[in-house]
Structure 1
Amino acid sequence: MKELRYLNKYFKKYWVKLLLGVLITIIARIFSLVMPSYVRKSFEVVEGFIANTIAKPEAKDLLLEYILIILGTTLLSGIFTFLMRQTIINVSRYIEYDLKNEVFNHYQFLNLNFYKKNRTGDLMNRISEDVGQVRMYAGPAVMYGLNALTLFGCLIPWMFITAPTLALYTIAPFPILSFLIYKISKIIHVRSTKVQEFLSTLSTFTQESFSGISIIKAYGLEPKINAEVQALAIEGKDKSMDLAKVNAWFFPLMILLIGISNIFVIYIGGKQYINGEIESIGTIAEFILYVNMLTWPVAIVGWLTSIVQRAEASQERINEFLKQQPTIKNEVEKETPIKGNIEFKNVSFTYEDTNITALKNISFTIKEGETVAILGKTGSGKSSILDLIARLYDTTSGKILIDHTWIKELNLNSLRKGIGVVPQDAFLFSDTIKNNIKFGKEDATDEEIVQIAKMAVVHDNIMEFSKKYDTVLGERGITLSGGQKQRVSIARALIKNPEIYLFDDCLSAVDTETEEEILSNLKKISKNKTTVIVSHRVSSAKNADKIIVLDDGRIIQQGKHDVLMNEDGYYKQLYYDQLSEKES
């Protein structure tokens, strides 16, 4: 259970509630133990009446008194059992809430390489299915475990006080049971881990299938996907059946051993009564009740073992991610607002997951308030520059300075608050258009949203929808066209009103006329703001204060439009190629 030790901090956090739960459990079990002893006393009253040592009226009064005591203590035991569930199960829900938040917060701080190496379905499964398995340990397993321990702790000593020999024979099967549980639980742990890992695979497959449903339909891949799902279903069934077959051994073994205990009670108790070693046949009835009271706690030992093994396997998977530390760390606590001066000094950058060197010893300066365009072929390193400015990655070598301060010496939250990013692949959430724009500024008014949407040239499109700005988008904004998604994404960045704008080829899906209108509006709204535009189009770059041309991670040209047009090179060739395409 070493992986489950991670939960100790939560148990400490809620120790008062847990302690209260333990006390209530003990009280509930004490009340439940009253009933068997009064059943024995009832038998003794009947025996006394038969032997004429107790008169009939007295016997009736005693039996009524004992019945009322049995009913009263049973009722009180039930009430305290209810309170026990309310206390301990509630704690498990609090722990589930805390653990899910911790896992999710940790996910947010991990760098992008983590998400490239791990699939979305697996991440989702660990925060849902695995945390759910851990909750079963923190709640039902703890509750029923405490219940069983309390019952054993109170009941077995009392059984030895009442009839030592009979008690010894009664609990004789228990060591055998413990040994079997030990052996079977090891198998359960291995098979539980396999089941949990498979569930991550299944979650990943279904998530990717639903996200890529348009591609599946377009290529007619439904039969292939169905076949793969069927294969996964068979694999999942086999793994679950392997686990179920082991779990199936528990309850028959428990019932068998409990049955053996009952036989011992009746046979050994009967012999002792005949031999006069025990005074009342009521003792045999009392011990049969004790054995049956132990039936459930003993029977659930297997179930508890299964829960603990599953929780151990799940917590191990959760800990695997929680142990991973983000490479991008906020090393400055105080806020460091930015203005917009950017400088790259001999920067090189290699992607860890692919080992591709995207930037090779590049240097340039962007003054505060300047608009700089970055052009180049696909894979030349344009987007990597924007990722480094937003510090989504750290440089492999060289330094990036923001306002003449090394980027690592800036507060990470302040840096990103001061930057508005429009990615190449516009991502919108499954929410209303209004809320997607407000993602850039939570307290934005409706008037501000409309004004910004007009600046992004998307207002007219939004007004065509039946619910206008309250239109709920499909997953990843699938309700909108590519150009509309880009323009809503632009509106989200503009409403933030940051000090630095980063536009990553964000006009690729709009026509030339709309592009010119948006660029004209951007020039107005981003006045005195540092703006970096990555593009494949010269039309998006020609009015910039500076144009940087990249090729294979190196700067091959740099300057204004007029300067670059006066020298032979990539920019001039690109300009004429795109001009001829436009005219044709």
Structure 2
Amino acid sequence: MKALSYLNKYLVKYKWYLIWGTVFTAISNLFGIFPAQLVRYALDLVRETLDTYHLYDGSTLQPALYSIFAFSLLLFAGGTLALALLKGFFLFLVRQTLIVMSRHIEYDLKNEIYDHYQTLPLSFYRQHNTGDLMARISEDVSKVRMYVGPSIMYGVNLIVLFILVITYMVSINARLSAYVLLPLPILSVLIYLVNNIIIRKSEEIQASLSKMSTYVQEAFSGIRVLKAFVQEQQSAARFEVESDTYRAKSLSLTKVDSLFFPIVAILVGLSNILVVYIGGQEIIAGRLTPGNITEFILYVNMLTWPVMALGWTTSQTQRAAASQARINEFLNIKTNIVSKKDINRSIQGEIDFRNVRFVYPDSGIVALHNFSMHVKAGETVAILGTTGSGKTTLANLLTRMYDVSSGEIRIDNTPIVDYNLTSLRSQMGYVPQDVFLFSETISNNVRFGRPDLPQARVEQAVRDADLYQNVIDFPEGFDTAVGERGVTLSGGQKQRLSIARAIARDPRILILDDCLSAVDTNTENIILNNLRRIMADRTSVIISHRVSSAKLADYIIMLDEGTIVEEGTQAELMARNGAFRELYEKQLQTEEV
């Protein structure tokens, strides 16, 4: 229950649902207990009336006595029916309060988890797979809802019914009540033993489900690669292995769950036997009537479902505890990417890296060594280097996806850690190396950074990215859905659409992270010429492994394994006959070939 205590804030928030649900549960159980008393009165009336009826055998009073008797039984039957209808009505209200409360809590908890996920840094997502994240916000939350909904409902019902029924039973005959309730402690011990097994197996099942969800998500995301390498059968075989593991663990838990109902049925049956045996002795002793015995049997049967639900409720509670513990594990992770002074203002775009060193927290890889760079507002800098030289790391640090290990980054001579994150990032346009498009229309993908962007601005951004002709050739034009991750577009079209999305928001700092690698040289020149006008009044950082992308740059930095090997203007670097010139000539020869 320690893990589930996290939900107390939601129970307090929706306390009136819980309070009224408890009240309605008590009322519905009262209307369920009264019929048992009516049955007792009716049976005793039948026995007493029959004795009286036979005393007046042959008398003219016998028909009148029979009419009174029949009318009395009709009243008892009508009363029982009315009480059953009232019980049903209040049961409806119970579900309209407690189950509705669980749906509200489920909604709030999912939103809290999703909002919290978005606050976590990239290092968190590098350490945890997507399937596990999805399992916790879907499967785990669903199991938690079973606790705050049906489990609480049945638990409250059990407590209220036990209090009411046991009070009535003891008031009638304490000795018989003690014998009837004797099996319940045994039931509690058995449930405790079985639930220890359930906790362990529930955790194993959730871990297996997360692993299987991750595999399925990866398989469908990489379906083109999977088909290209003809790995359908191998993929299906591996999924079957994961599915078999999940099935085996689920069946193992089902076997343990199946112990509850036979145990409860045996113990309830034992209670009925004790009612008849001990009750018979009490009738012989003259302390009870046959109607009391029938009443006790009805009470025992009334307790049957709550006692059976006790096993189910306990099982669901233990599963919810295991799931909530998994949810709490991520909710307890706090982001270290926070603003120190929460500065919220427009930036000019001056960038200053001062002796920056960065080590990836999850892998320990040193990506940058003593890196320094100063870019004036409105200037363009090109960062060139081979794969793994640390170029993308610079983009991640500049957008503050990570914080530096040592050194400092300043924007407009203010430490980047002092800016409000939302304000800072909203003034940057970022085109990532790994292009990601949403399952939306082309227009909505361009508008992603600014949902209120006019269509004319959308079309202009697409023109600047040299994608306009492709878009109007599509049957649905700008309303064309690009599919999951942009699967309906080519690699070059996805990159150009990503560029359009970045420039459409009119950023003060534009970061292009190797975003022209999938386009040909001619298209690259067209895009760069279009970007020349866009870059005129804004700071731009062009990250690439192609020297042709650096022709718009005012300043060029050559990186190798996180260290600056050369820097200067293009003319200066060409004159040095160093690494830049060597790379330039190699790529020039390749293009000529």
Pairwise TM-score range, normalised by the shorter structure:
over 0.9
Match of 1:512 in 2: 521
Once the two structures are superposed, the pairs formed by residues 122-271 of structure 1 within 5 Å of their partners are 122-271=132-281
Which one is further off, 446-455 or 37-46? 446-455
Could you list the runs of 5+ residues in structure 1 that have no partner in the other structure? none
C-alpha separation in 2, matches of 1:522 and 1:440: 19
Match of 1:8 in 2: 8
Displacement of 1:233 after TM fit? 1.9
Amino acid at match of 2:97: T
C-alpha separation in 1, matches of 2:238 and 2:563: 44
C-alpha separation in 2, matches of 1:230 and 1:571: 52
C-alpha separation in 2, matches of 1:26 and 1:438: 55
SS in 2 for 1:424: coil
Displacement of 1:63 after TM fit? 1.3
C-alpha separation in 2, matches of 1:138 and 1:527: 58
C-alpha separation in 2, matches of 1:225 and 1:56: 80
Q: Which residue among 469, 494, 507 is the counterpart of 2:503?
A: 494
Amino acid at match of 1:325: K
C-alpha separation in 2, matches of 1:492 and 1:440: 7
Displacement of 1:84 after TM fit? 0.3
Displacement of 1:394 after TM fit? 0.5
SS in 1 for 2:373: strand
Match of 2:56 in 1: none
SS in 2 for 1:368: coil
Kindly provide the CA deviation profile for residues 228-272 of structure 1, in whole angstroms up to 9, marking residues without a partner as x: 122112211211111011101000111111111111112221222
Kindly provide the CA deviation profile for residues 538-568 of structure 1, in whole angstroms up to 9, marking residues without a partner as x: 1110221111111121112111111111111
Native 8 Å contact 2:342 2:418 kept in 1: no
C-alpha separation in 2, matches of 1:338 and 1:37: 80
Which one is further off, 7-16 or 267-276? 267-276
Does residue 357 in structure 1 map to residue 360 in structure 2? no
Q: TM-score, normalization: structure 2?
A: 0.97
Match of 2:582 in 1: 573
Native 8 Å contact 2:528 2:552 kept in 1: no
Displacement of 1:2 after TM fit? 0.4
Displacement of 1:73 after TM fit? 1.1
Displacement of 1:334 after TM fit? 4.8
Native 8 Å contact 1:564 1:572 kept in 2: yes
C-alpha separation in 1, matches of 2:154 and 2:343: 48
Does residue 63 in structure 1 map to residue 73 in structure 2? yes
C-alpha separation in 2, matches of 1:438 and 1:234: 44
C-alpha separation in 2, matches of 1:460 and 1:267: 91
C-alpha separation in 2, matches of 1:173 and 1:543: 86
Native 8 Å contact 2:532 2:552 kept in 1: no
Once the two structures are superposed, the pairs formed by residues 47-62 of structure 1 within 5 Å of their partners are 47-52=47-52, 55-62=65-72
Amino acid at match of 2:346: P
Match of 2:452 in 1: 443
Native 8 Å contact 1:338 1:414 kept in 2: no
SS in 1 for 2:542: strand
Does residue 43 in structure 1 map to residue 43 in structure 2? yes
Kindly provide the CA deviation profile for residues 145-176 of structure 1, in whole angstroms up to 9, marking residues without a partner as x: 10111100111111010122221111111111
Displacement of 1:75 after TM fit? 0.5
C-alpha separation in 2, matches of 1:342 and 1:303: 61
Amino acid at match of 1:271: Q
Does residue 81 in structure 1 map to residue 91 in structure 2? yes
Match of 1:551 in 2: 560
Native 8 Å contact 2:343 2:418 kept in 1: no
Displacement of 1:527 after TM fit? 1.6
Displacement of 1:126 after TM fit? 0.5
C-alpha separation in 2, matches of 1:443 and 1:222: 43
C-alpha separation in 1, matches of 2:127 and 2:435: 22
Native 8 Å contact 1:332 1:412 kept in 2: no
Displacement of 1:414 after TM fit? 1.1
Amino acid at match of 2:154: Y
Amino acid at match of 1:47: R
Displacement of 1:14 after TM fit? 0.6
Native 8 Å contact 1:342 1:367 kept in 2: yes
Once the two structures are superposed, the pairs formed by residues 267-278 of structure 1 within 5 Å of their partners are 267-278=277-288
Amino acid at match of 1:499: R
Displacement of 1:276 after TM fit? 1.4
C-alpha separation in 2, matches of 1:499 and 1:445: 19
Once the two structures are superposed, the pairs formed by residues 458-497 of structure 1 within 5 Å of their partners are 458-497=467-506
Kindly provide the CA deviation profile for residues 287-328 of structure 1, in whole angstroms up to 9, marking residues without a partner as x: 111111000000111100110010000001001111111121
Native 8 Å contact 1:420 1:496 kept in 2: yes
Match of 1:289 in 2: 298
Amino acid at match of 2:180: T
Amino acid at match of 2:21: G
Q: TM-score, normalization: structure 1?
A: 0.98
Match of 1:22 in 2: 22
Residue correspondences, number:
583
Kindly provide the CA deviation profile for residues 370-415 of structure 1, in whole angstroms up to 9, marking residues without a partner as x: 0111101111111111111111111111110100001111111111
C-alpha separation in 2, matches of 1:236 and 1:462: 45
Match of 2:399 in 1: 390
Displacement of 1:336 after TM fit? 3.0
C-alpha separation in 2, matches of 1:267 and 1:513: 98
Kindly provide the CA deviation profile for residues 457-477 of structure 1, in whole angstroms up to 9, marking residues without a partner as x: 111111222212111122211
